[in-house]
Amino acid sequence: MRPGDMVLRCYAEKKGDQWQAFCLDLNLAAHGDDFQDVKNRLDEMIWSYVYDATVGEDAQYADQLLPRKAPLSYWLTYYWYSATQRARIAKNGVHCLFTTIMPMHPNPV
């Protein structure tokens, strides 16, 4: 990780047959068939969003676009999952916490 990189807090949870993933620091969400699928989709959304907000067409609005926190209910879910994982009472395969490291000025693909 380099100075200036953003560490974004995320979680994913299984709902029925689908997985949902949320980036709390940017208020983004994705869904997919399995954990790796939903994580990849969310990572792509994060990259695209940060790119547009920092060096893309919306760069002039970066100060408004980047501090975009998720609603309190999502944060409470994140901290609940964090507490259950630490207490080792989490249901394996039902939810997962993860972070994504994003450079503040991503390079285009």
CATH for 6-102 is 3.30.160
Domains of the chain: which residue ranges? 6-102
Edge-to-edge strand list for the sheet holding 6-15: 28-32, 18-23, 6-15, 95-102
Q: What is the DSSP string of 34-101?
A: SHHHHHHHHHHHHHHHHHHHHTSTTGGGHHHHS--PPPHHHHHHHHHHHHHHHTT---TTTEEEEEEE
- β-partners of residue 22 are 11, 29
User: Residue 89 has what pLDDT?
Assistant: 58
The structure's pTM equals: 0.81
pLDDT reading at 107 higher than 80 = no
User: Residue 97 has what pLDDT?
Assistant: 86
- Is the Cβ–Cβ distance between 41 and 12 less than 8 Å? no
Selection from 82, 27, 74, 17 nearest residue 49 by Cα:
27
Q: Residue 105 in 3-state DSSP?
A: coil
**pLDDT per residue as tens digits for the range 35-89:** 999 999 999 999 999 888 888 888 898 888 887 889 999 999 999 988 887 766 5
User: Residue 92 has what pLDDT?
Assistant: 60
